[in-house]
Chains A and B, each alone.
Chain A
Amino acid sequence: SQTIHQWPATLVQPVGSPLSLECTVEGTSNPNLYWYRQAAGRGLQLLFYSVGIGQISSEVPQNLSASRPQDRQFILSSKKLLLSDSGFYLCAWSVWGIRSGANVLTFGAGSRLTVL
């Protein structure tokens, strides 16, 4: 069965410090990978998605970047965190064709980032 791991679960960082959130998927090959941010009352905002190694698409201009060094690894980074980067970050994967082509997303447990 497929599993998705995301870490760290909780992170408190000072403004201006770097960030690295990691996500790995097991039990599947060539997944589509996604990073979302969830803010209270604002729903889920898609930040990045990737259809393969080294292929990153950015949805919104921001202080963050993403990388996919391996097929099942997705990393969210920042060189200098801002207060506005605080939030709940979710990694997700999907594979086209599963569940009758619905391309549904399966989410990790999330990483809660507080920037002080």
Chain B
Amino acid sequence: QKEVEQDPGPLSVPEGAIVSLNCTYSNSAFQYFMWYRQYSRKGPELLMYTYSSGNKEDGRFTAQVDKSSKYISLFIRDSQPSDSATYLCAMRLDYGGATNKLIFGTGTLLAVQP
């Protein structure tokens, strides 16, 4: 079983739709949870991160962590064609240093149709 599972998609939605992207994980000790957005042929860029459980909102984006279910979500409201990208979830344990490696999901490809 992979440590982090993510549906690869592709996910195609019409402009203005609410998008839900999800990851499940197996290691209950993960504490930091991140979402990266990666446009085609570009490096990933950090979109949001959360610590432990709860919700975090930034504009049209909401990150949600449910540690009891080992499940994280990213919601995109009023989706735009510019949101079309691959979304990668990532997570790590709660200690410092480079040896605390980030574990990535395989990414979900999202296409927002105008």
A109 touching B42 in the complex, CB below 8 Å, given contacts A41-B106, A100-B51: yes
Cβ–Cβ < 8 Å partners of A105 in chain B: 46, 90, 102
Q: How large is the interface on B (under 10, 10 to 19, 20 to 34, 35 or more residues)?
A: 20 to 34
The answer, yes or no, to whether A94 is at the interface (CB within 8 Å) is yes
Cβ–Cβ < 8 Å partners of B105 in chain A: 43
Contact between B8 and A104, CB atoms less than 8 A apart: no
Expressed in whole angstroms, the Cα–Cα distance for A94 and B46 within the complex equals 12
Cβ–Cβ < 8 Å partners of A74 in chain B: none
Q: How large is the interface on A (under 10, 10 to 19, 20 to 34, 35 or more residues)?
A: 20 to 34
Contact between B98 and A49, CB atoms less than 8 A apart: yes
Contact between B96 and A103, CB atoms less than 8 A apart: yes
Contact between A102 and B96, CB atoms less than 8 A apart: no
Contact between A107 and B43, CB atoms less than 8 A apart: yes
Contact between A43 and B32, CB atoms less than 8 A apart: no
Report the minimum CB–CB distance from B37 to chain A (whole Å): 11
Cβ–Cβ < 8 Å partners of B98 in chain A: 32, 34, 49-51, 57, 94, 96, 103
Cβ–Cβ < 8 Å partners of B102 in chain A: 46, 105
Q: Which 5 pairs from chain A and chain B are nearest by CB?
A: A107-B43, A32-B98, A43-B106, A44-B104, A96-B96
The listed residue (B46, B92, B99) touching A106 by CB distance below 8 A is: B46
Contact between A42 and B106, CB atoms less than 8 A apart: yes
Expressed in whole angstroms, the Cα–Cα distance for A100 and B32 within the complex equals 11
Expressed in whole angstroms, the Cα–Cα distance for A43 and B6 within the complex equals 10
Contact between B43 and A99, CB atoms less than 8 A apart: no
Contact between B88 and A44, CB atoms less than 8 A apart: yes
Report the minimum CB–CB distance from A90 to chain B (whole Å): 5
Expressed in whole angstroms, the Cα–Cα distance for A83 and B31 within the complex equals 38
Cβ–Cβ < 8 Å partners of A42 in chain B: 106
The answer, yes or no, to whether B75 is at the interface (CB within 8 Å) is no
Expressed in whole angstroms, the Cα–Cα distance for A90 and B102 within the complex equals 14
